[in-house]
Structure formats: C-alpha cells, structure tokens
C-alpha cells in the first residue's frame, strides 16, 4: 500500500475521531487546525464523507454534522464489540512487561467473575476458571469491586456477607476504603494459599465501575521491595483501559502534545 493511501486513511481516521469524541459540528478550517491536516485535505475528506452520507451539512454555514451512515456504523460497532474483547491485547502487553498473570474481572450478582485471563510463562502460577463466580469477600478483585460499586450495592453485598461468611465485615469495609483511597487493592493468602493479589478498577466517564484488572503472583516470587512497582503496573493497565471510555480526554492530550 502506497504512503499516499496510508496518509489518506490516517486523515480520515483523525476526522472521524473529532466527530465522535469532541464536538458536534465541524468545518474544514477547524478540522485542519485540530488534526494538523492541510485545509485542502480536510475539505476533500469532508466532501467525500458527505457524498457517502456519513456526514451532512448542518444549519450553520460551512459546517458538517454526523449523518445517518456514520450513526448506523457506530450502532453496529457498539453491538458487536465488548470490553472483554478490547482488554486482551492490552493484558498481553502488560504480561510481557512483568511476566505475571493478569485477569480482567467483572461483578455479577455479588460475585467476582474472571472474564479474561492472560497467563505468564512461569510454570508456577495461580489459576482461575473464567466465567465461574467466586466469593467477593476474598481477594484483591473483590475489594476493588466493593470499593467502587455504588454505595447502595456495596451495602447490600456486605449485609449478605455478614450473614453467610466468617469474614469480619468491619475489616472488609476497612480494606475497601483503603482500596478506594489508593486506587488499588492488595491481598495476601486470601483467595488462595501462597498467592499475592493486586487489583485496580476500570471506570467509565461518570466513574461507574466497568470491571477491573488483577495480578496474581505466587508468594514465592513476591518481594516487598517490588510492591510499588506491581501497584503502579496494575493501575496503569486499568487506567489505559479506562481511558478508552474517555476518548475525548485522550484526544485533548494528543492535541496538547502536537
């Protein structure tokens, strides 16, 4: 594929990002200034998109807004995509960085469900079964869920745990408050003997809990001097995925760098 074609594709993608994540109406001068494209390139892309009904002229002079084809495309992508699929390549990247097992987990009816697991290359590693519900009162993942769910949901879960578990609710509540303050949870020998866990939340635009990222490390490989490094890594991974729910923020940062 020629360099000219690749540049054209990049230009179209930049324009699509502006319509999707920043403001409603765009003219060629604004697009050129924001994306770094030349005015003639921006105008050509806008006109082509308008010809295909992806954008349409707005009531404002020399402005375009999202058209029916782009709207339809967005709905189709939303219906076919899920956070579970998006996280896997990101997890692989972080596993390669520290060679420990990473999990993507969700909350489901008061339980922890490990939805995606990317394992490290060590022979000794902690195993979970994807799709199987685990108790929420044990492990770093459960602490993060309780810390970042709406308070009403957390209190309902804690009331159930108090009735049906030997776990001390006051200690569990203290641990969830610490996780909320630090932005991650740390546990040792809770979900499994000889296992250290770190977990951090994936949050949406309104800070709603979407899921979380966990690291499971056999205690034989854990060193307290590396604690902050593991905490930073799990927060970075969860933060990178959270940023996908805040694309306009990412675009603003890119624009500042440019």
In this prediction, residue 77 has a pLDDT band, given cuts at 50, 70 and 90, of low
Cβ(205)–Cβ(245) below 8 Å? yes
Q: Among 3-17, 78-92, 171-185, 198-212, which is the least confidently predicted range?
A: 78-92
In sequence order, what are the beta bridge partners of 188? 196
Q: What is the pLDDT of residue 150?
A: 93
In this prediction, residue 237 has a pLDDT band, given cuts at 50, 70 and 90, of very high
Q: What is the pLDDT of residue 78?
A: 63
Q: Among 72-81, 116-125, 147-156, 224-233, which is the least confidently predicted range?
A: 72-81
Sign, CA torsion 154/160/166/170? positive
Residue with tokens 């939340």: 201
Give the domains, in start order, of the chain with CATH numbers.
3-78 (1.10.10.10), 83-243 (3.30.450.40)
Q: Count of CB atoms within 10 A of residue 181's CB?
A: 9
Scanning the chain, the segments in alpha helix (DSSP H) are 3-21, 28-35, 39-51, 68-80, 83-98, 139-148, 151-164, 169-182, 227-243, 247-257
Q: Look at residue 258 and tell me whether its pLDDT is greater than 50.
A: no
Q: What is the pLDDT of residue 250?
A: 46
How confident is the model over 165-187, as a mean pLDDT?
Answer: 90
How confident is the model over 222-242, as a mean pLDDT?
Answer: 95
* CA distances, 36 to each of 21, 27, 46 (Å): 17, 14, 15
Q: Look at residue 118 and tell me whether its pLDDT is greater than 90.
A: yes
DSSP state, residue 258: -
In this prediction, residue 60 has a pLDDT band, given cuts at 50, 70 and 90, of low
Q: What is the pLDDT of residue 192?
A: 76
Report helix, strand or coil for 86. helix
Residue 105, both tokens = 């987990």
Is the full-model pTM beyond 0.85?
no
**In angstroms, rounded to a whole number, what is the distance separating the alpha carbons of residues 197 and 50?**
51
Could you tell me which residue, 147 or 2, shows the higher pLDDT?
A: 147
In this prediction, residue 251 has a pLDDT band, given cuts at 50, 70 and 90, of very low
Q: What is the pLDDT of residue 147?
A: 95
Cβ(186)–Cβ(227) below 8 Å? yes
In this prediction, residue 114 has a pLDDT band, given cuts at 50, 70 and 90, of very high
Q: What is the pLDDT of residue 186?
A: 96
Could you tell me which residue, 22 or 210, shows the higher pLDDT?
A: 210
Q: What is the pLDDT of residue 86?
A: 81
């Amino acid at each position: 594929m020629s360099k000219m074609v690749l540049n054209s594709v990049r230009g179209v993608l930049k324009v699509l990002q502006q319509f999707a994540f920043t403001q409603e109406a765009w003219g060629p001068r604004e697009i050129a200034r924001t994306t770094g494209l030349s005015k003639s390139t921006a105008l050509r892309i806008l006109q082509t998109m308008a010809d295909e009904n992806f954008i349409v002229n707005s009531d404002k002079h020399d402005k375009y807004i999202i058209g029916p084809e782009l709207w339809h495309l967005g709905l189709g992508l939303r219906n076919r995509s899920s956070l579970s699929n998006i996280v896997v390549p990101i997890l692989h990247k972080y596993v390669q960085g520290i060679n420990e097992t990473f999990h993507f987990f969700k909350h489901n009816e008061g339980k922890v469900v490990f939805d995606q697991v990317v394992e490290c290359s060590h022979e000794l590693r902690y195993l979970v079964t994807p799709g199987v519900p685990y108790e929420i009162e044990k492990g770093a993942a459960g602490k993060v869920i309780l810390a970042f769910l709406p308070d009403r949901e957390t209190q309902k879960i804690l009331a159930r745990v108090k009735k049906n578990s030997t776990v001390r609710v006051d200690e569990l509540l203290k641990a969830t408050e610490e996780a909320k303050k630090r932005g991650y949870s740390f546990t040792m020998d809770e979900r499994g003997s000889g296992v250290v866990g770190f977990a951090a939340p994936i949050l949406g635009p309104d800070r709603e809990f979407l899921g979380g990222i966990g690291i499971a490390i056999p205690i034989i490989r854990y060193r307290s001097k590396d604690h902050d490094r593991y905490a930073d890594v799990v927060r970075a991974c969860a933060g990178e995925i959270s940023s996908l729910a805040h694309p306009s923020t990412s675009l603003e940062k890119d624009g500042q760098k440019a």
